[in-house]
Amino acid sequence: MRDTPPAEPAAAAPADDLAGRRLVLGLTGGIACYKAAELTRELAKAGATVQVVMTEAAERFVTAVTMQALSGRPVFTSQWDLRAPNAMAHIDLTRAADAVVVAPASADFIAKLAHGLANDLLSLACLARPRERCSLLVAPAMNREMWDHPATRRNVAQIAADGAAVLGPASGDQACGEVGDGRMLEAAEIRDEVVAHFQPKVLAGRRVLVTAGPTYEPIDPVRGVTNRSSGKMGFAVARAAAEAGAAVTLVAGPVALPTPRGVARLDVQTARQMHDAVLPLAAAHDVFVATAAVADWRPAQVAAHKLKKADGHDAPTIAMAPNPDILAAVARLPRPPYCVGFAAESHDLAKHAREKRERKGVPLVVANVGPATFGRDDNALLLVDAAGERELGQGDKLALARALVREIARRLPAAQEPR
């Protein structure tokens, strides 16, 4: 078992994640401007209207022509631009905007924001935005020494205190040849942060524990017993809970999926390892979502060496032993979190889900047809509780995960204090 840092997101955002959102994308001077071109594409593909504003320094790295072609809108670069009917582009740009996203944000521009300086169109627009309905998201990009400088740290702390959301930075190779903190997040990461920003914070202050993926039960050093779970549904639930404001811990079986940003991840292999990771954590969480497809049995004995096939010999008989029941164990805790089980069935979906809910002693079971969803990006969920059944319907797994998170938030006892 090991801690795994967040990885870069690989999947595209659903096409309607930012539908109807109007964003001002501000570019300041820095080599990371090349990432802003891809960011513009990603935001537009997610449904946003993107209005690009560039500083004079940004134009040294990427052209306004490029950004106009990608955004489909004329680019603003000067506070003296007369295209605005009232010649007040710094006012007009943010009046209909939902957010200003500055990416890249240089050390100089962050200092301007911290001290209220406004000597170019972008800094003027940030200062003049209606703060109660137009958010400010800032993605720093600079050399590692500039990022570590006390003045920069003070300025970043100040803009955060003033209400800006600071996205990143990341650590890694820098254009100057040095390695360290200060890299701007990748375009898909910033896109996901913008999407998350607009999600309702229905789990703010809550702690959520999620299991995901299959388990792998070894037979010998090269063979094992597992199942076809991809982990995609559980990872979507972890991401949706984090978007909803929760502090999320994800315990994952062997899957090749990137960690959702802002989620703490523990990797395990076997059911017993998953059990041993979950049980000490569960009591400190408000919600436990057992999405993992945990193997019910394991080989009673694991061979020390590969079992060899010999001519004329029958296949070996493998004795099986039961694995611990993680969901039931959490539900039996003296003060359990709100427990949500998942049931992946091949037939009689509602019947088996009802039986599982009663057997495990949990308030909610989410059922799906395993063979129809394993490895896919879409799913169909059935909610089963003491009152009966309700379909969430067919959809992509992230959209369903968000709907499930809203349902869980609605069901949490109103009087229950966050842990």
* Annotated catalytic residue, options 33, 134, 176, 339: 176
Q: What is the DSSP letter of 218?
A: E
Residues 187 and 180: their CA atoms lie apart, in Å, by 19
Residues 47 and 242: their CA atoms lie apart, in Å, by 21
Contact 6, 262 (CB under 8 A): yes
CA-to-CA dists, residue 335 to 205, 286, 330, 363, angstroms: 18, 10, 9, 14
Contact 271, 229 (CB under 8 A): no
Q: What is the DSSP letter of 76?
A: B
DSSP per residue over 269-313, as a string?
A: -SHHHHHHHHHHHHTT-SEEEE-SB--SEEESS--SSPPPP-TT-
Residue 339: active-site member: no
Q: Who's near 12: CB < 8 A, 6+ residues apart? A: 45, 188
Contact 228, 374 (CB under 8 A): yes
Residues in a beta bridge with 267: 2, 252
Residue type, 231: G
Residues 2 and 155: their CA atoms lie apart, in Å, by 35
Contact 56, 31 (CB under 8 A): no
CA–chain centroid gap for 185, Å, is 14
Strand segments (E) across 159-314: 165-166, 170-173, 179-183, 207-212, 217-218, 224-225, 247-252, 263-267, 287-290, 297-299
Residues in a beta bridge with 171: 181
Contact 156, 148 (CB under 8 A): no
Give CB contacts under 8 A, 24+ apart, made by 357-365.
Answer: 357/384, 357/385, 359/328, 360/325, 360/327, 360/328, 360/331, 361/328, 361/331, 361/332, 362/327, 362/331, 363/338, 363/339, 363/411, 364/338, 364/339, 364/340, 364/408, 364/411, 365/340, 365/341
Q: Which residues are catalytic?
A: 176
